[in-house]
Amino acid sequence: MKSIYAVACSVIFLGLFGCTTDTNSNDQKTNAPVKSNQSIGKSQSLSLEKLWSSSEGFVTPESVIYDEKNEIYYVSNVNNNPWEKDGNGFISKMDTFGTITELKWVEDGINGPKGMAIVDDKLYATDIDELLEIDINTGNITGRFTVTPGSKLNDITVGANGDLYVSASGANVIYRKRGHGFIPVITKLAFSPNGVDYQNGQLNVLGFDSKKMYKFDLSDNTESTFSADLGAADGLEQVDGGGYLASDWNGQVFYVDPSGKNKPLINTIEEKKGAADIEYVASRRTLLVPTFFDNHIDAYKVNIK
C-alpha cells in the first residue's frame, strides 16, 4: 500500500522492545510530523512507543494508508469474510490521533477492500476481482478495472510514472495498471503473492503461503528469493538503509535487513490480534498496524538514537 508521495521517500526502520503500553496518548507534540533525512543502518539504535489504538468502529480492518496531502488515513474494512462478494465492505477515514472521522466514507458497491495506493487525487483499492478508482475529493468510485473471477486481488504498490502493480493471491500473478490498461505482467508464480513494494525498477513480493520475500527485476522478470520464515507474509514496507518491514497476518512484524536476514519485532499471536497490511509514514515516524481480528489500528512512534 503505497502512496506516490511516499515512493521516493526514505523510510525509517523501527524496533519494538522497551516500548510503552499507553494506548490512549493524544500528545500533539509526539504525533507531529518530523523530518526523516537521517540514514539508518543496521547498527542504529531504535525503539518504539505506543501512540494510540484507534477508536471503536472498524470491522476487520485489512489495510491502512496515509494521505500526506490531506493529512488523513484511509482504512479498508473487509467486514468479516475477506473474499465473499457480500456488499458489506467499506473504507473509513481516520485522523492522525486514531479517531474515526467518517466510518463509511466509501461503501456503495464494495465487497472486501484490501490494499490501497494513492496517485494524485485518486485512491485505488483492491476488491476481490476489481481494482477500484476513488476520487479522494468526492469519495465517489470513478473507475472499476475487472480481472478473472477468483483472482483475489490483494496489495498495490506505485511504480514509475504512476504505474500500479497489484498482487493476485488467487491467480498467482502480478497485474500492472498503466493508463486504462490492466494486464498480468508476472505470471505462473509458484506461490500466492500478497504484499508488493516497488523499488528502483524491481518489485519486492511477499509469498503468503511460502513465507518468503522475493525480488523481481522488472526488466526481465528474473526472480530471486531474498528472505524466508516470515509467517503468513502480508504487508511490506521499505525502510531506510536497505531493509524492510514485513507483517505476518497471524500477528507478527519482522525487520528484514539488507542481507535478507529477519528478526521478529512484534508478536501478538497469543493475543490473536493479527497484523495485516502495515503502513509506515516516514514524515511522522509512525508505524500503523491493522489488527485484523481486534478491529483497531495500532500506531507506534519510532524513536531513533
> In this predicted model, what pLDDT tens digit does every residue of 89-114 receive, in sequence order?
999 999 999 999 999 999 999 999 99
Identify which of 219, 182, 189, 225 has the alpha carbon closest to the alpha carbon of residue 204: 225
Span 46-304 CATH architecture: 6 Propeller (2.120)
Query: Is residue 30 pLDDT above 70, yes or no?
Result: no
Contact at 8 Å (CB) between 232 and 250? yes
More confident residue, 70 or 238: 70
pLDDT of residue 48: 72
pLDDT (0 to 100) of residue 1: 53
Q: Is the pTM of this model over 0.75?
A: yes
Of 156 and 20, which is predicted with more confidence? 156
Residue 25: burial class (beta carbons within 10 Å; 0-12, 13-18, 19+): middle
pLDDT bracket for residue 304 (50, 70, 90): low
**Does residue 163 contact residue 177 with C-beta atoms inside 8 Å?**
yes
Q: What percent of the chain has pLDDT over 90?
A: 73
Judged against a pLDDT cut of 50, whether residue 18 lies above it is answered with: no
- H helix intervals, the chain: none
- Asked if 186 contacts 219 with a C-beta cutoff of 8 angstroms, the reply is no
